[in-house]
Amino acid sequence: MTETTTTPSWRETLRNFLDARVLTMLFLGFSAGIPILLIFSSLSLWLGEAGVERKAVTFFSWAALGYSFKFVWAPLIDKLPLPLLTRSLGKRRAWLLLSQALIMLAIVTMGSIDPALSKNNLTLMAFAAVLLGFSSATQDIVIDAYRIESAETRLQALMSSTYIVGYRVAMIVAGAGALYLAAQFGSEKGHYVYTAWRWTYFIMAAIMLVGVLTTFVIPEPKHKPSSLHYTTHDYLRLVLVFACTVTAFVLTFFLTDALFTHLKAGTDGGVLTGFLLETLRFALAVAVAFAVGYLLVRAGLVDRAIAIETWIAPIADFFKRYGVKTATFLLVLIGFYRISDIVLGAASNVFYQDLDFSKQEIATAVKTVGVLVSVLGGVFGGLFATQFGVMKSLLWGAILAALTNLVFVLLAVSGHSLPVFYLAVIADNLAAGFASAAFVAFLSALTSVSFTAVQYAIFSSLMSLFPKVLGGYSGTMVDAIGYPGFFIFTTLIGLPVIGLVLIATKFLELDQSKLTQPT
C-alpha cells in the first residue's frame, strides 16, 4: 500500500486532530491509562496504610506479567471469535468490551476486599490485581490493533499523540486522583479507613465506563477475511494448547529463578553478566513453551493449519516482507530504541530521594509537571512526525532521549536544587513524550494489518524487555560508578541507537512514503 508523499500544511495537520479516528484514541488512551496505577503505586499506598508490606505477597509481582508477555496470547485475540459479542460488535470491539468488563470486575473486586483483615484477603487481593494486569494488557493489545487498522499511515502519528494524552491524563486520575479521593473519604497514614479505599476503587471502576461507551460508539475497522474457517471445537482445542504453552513458559521462568540466582551469585556479579543470564533465562522459558506447543500440535491436539495461521504466520510474514537480515536489524532497533530513558527511569525516584527532595516536591515535579510536559512532548512528536516524516521524528526522539540525560549529571553535581530538579524532569519528560509518539508511529507502520494484534504486541514487548532487564541493575551501577557516572552511561548507551536509526533511514529507505502499513 502506498500513499502520497505530499507533506501536509500545518493547518491541515492541526485540522486532522479533529478527525473522529484521532479523537477516538484520546478516550481509548484514557481507558488504557486507568488500570496501571491501581495495580502499582495507588495500591502500594493502600497496602501501606493498611499496615501491609507489599513485598510480603509475591503474587503481586505477577500482575506485571501481563504487560511484559502480552505477545504470548495476542495471537488468540487476532483469531479467536467471542460467542455472541463478535457477531454483534465485530472482532476488535468484542475483545475490547470483554477486556474492559474484566478490568471493571477486577477493580470492583479489589475494592471489595480489606487487605488488613487476614492473609486470605491479601491473597485474594493479589489474584484480583493479577486479573487486572492481564485484563489491562489485553485491552492494550486490542487498542493497538484497532488504531493501526482504523486509519491510514498519515494519521498514525497524530493518533499516537492523542492516545498518549489520554493515557497520561488517566494516570493523573488513577494516581493523584485516587489518593485525593481516599484522603477525602478519611483514610491516611496512621489512620486507615478501609471504606475510603473501597469507594475510591469503586469510583475508578465507574470511570472505566468512558472506555466502555467509546467501544459502543466507534465503528469496527475493516478486516482482511481469513482464508481458513474453523469450528468451535477447533478454537477450544487452540485455547487448550495456548493454556499449556503459557503454563510451560510461566513454570520454566519461575522454577529456574533459584538456579539463575545461584549462577549470578557464582559469577563476579557484574551488570553485563547478570543481564546476559536474565536474557538466557527468558530465552529458555520461550524455548520450553515453544517445544511444548510444537509437541502438542504434532500430537494432533489442535489442527496444524490453525496453529500455523495463529502463531507462526504473523512472525513469518514480518521476516518475509523485510527479509531475514532487515527484519533482524529492525528487531534490534526496536529492542534498544528506548534503552536510554528506561534505564535512567529505573533509578530516578531513588536518586531524587537521595538528594533529599521531599515526597511533596517529587510528587509535584514528577507526577504533575512531568506528566503535563510528557503530554506536550507527545503532541509535538505527533505533529513533527506528520510534517517531517516518521524516520526524522524517530531520529530526533533518539537524540533527545540520550542527550537530555546529561541534565541529570548537572542535577547530581548541583545537589538539592529545585530549579535544576525541574529542568531535569521537564527535559526528560519532554524527550520521552516526543520519542514515544514517534516510536509508536514507527511500530504501527511496521505492523501488517493482517496480523496487527500479534506483531504489535511482539514489538511493544520487545521494546521494554531488554531495557527493563538492564534497568534492574541500575542500583548496582550507581554503587559502582556513582550517579554522575551512571547518567553519563545512560547517555552513552543511547548513542548507538542514533546510529541504528541513521542506518535504518539510509539502508532501509523507510521514509514517510515507504513506511506504510502492508495489506
The answer to whether 405 touches 490, Cβ cutoff 8 Å, is yes
Low-confidence ranges of the chain (pLDDT < 50): 1-5, 57-58, 510-514, 516-519
Q: Which residues contact 53 (CB under 8 A, 6 or more apart)?
A: 47
CA-to-CA distance for 54 and 44, rounded, in angstroms? 6
Return the closest-CA partner of residue 374 out of 426, 331, 430, 321.
Answer: 430
- Here the cell at position 383 is 505533529
| Helix 119-150 and helix 91-111, axial crossing angle in degrees, nearest 10 | 160
d(C-alpha 111, C-alpha 116), whole Å: 13
Cα distances (angstroms) measured from residue 50 to each of 53, 193, 450: 9, 8, 48
303 neighbors 234 (Cβ within 8 angstroms): yes
Tell me which amino acid residue 235 is: Y
- 120, with CB counted inside 10 A (0-12, 13-18, 19+), is exposed
Beta bridge partners of 175: none
Q: CA triplet 306, 307, 312: central angle to 5 degrees?
A: 115
pTM of the complete model: 0.77
Tell me the DSSP string of 311-363.
IIHHHHHHHHHH-HHHHHHHHHHHHHTTHHHHHHHHHHHHHHHHTT--HHHHI
Q: How far apart are CA 343 and CA 381, in angstroms?
A: 21
Return the ∠ at Cα 143 (arms to 148 and 204), rounded to 5°: 155
Q: Tell me, what's the pLDDT at 233?
A: 76
Predicted pLDDT at 1: 36
Question: Does residue 193 come out as left (phi exceeding 0), alpha (psi in the -120 to 50 range) or beta?
Answer: beta
Report the C-alpha gap between 519 and 511 in whole angstroms: 18
How far is it, in rounded angstroms, from Cα 391 to Cα 28? 26
pLDDT at 240: 86
What DSSP state is assigned to residue 302? S
Give me the pLDDT at residue 513, please: 43
Q: Report the half-sphere exposure of 247 (CA within 13 A, side-chain side).
A: 8
pLDDT at 70: 79
- At 393-439, the pLDDT tens digits run 899 999 999 999 999 999 999 988 999 999 999 999 999 989 988 88
At residue 43, the pLDDT reads: 83
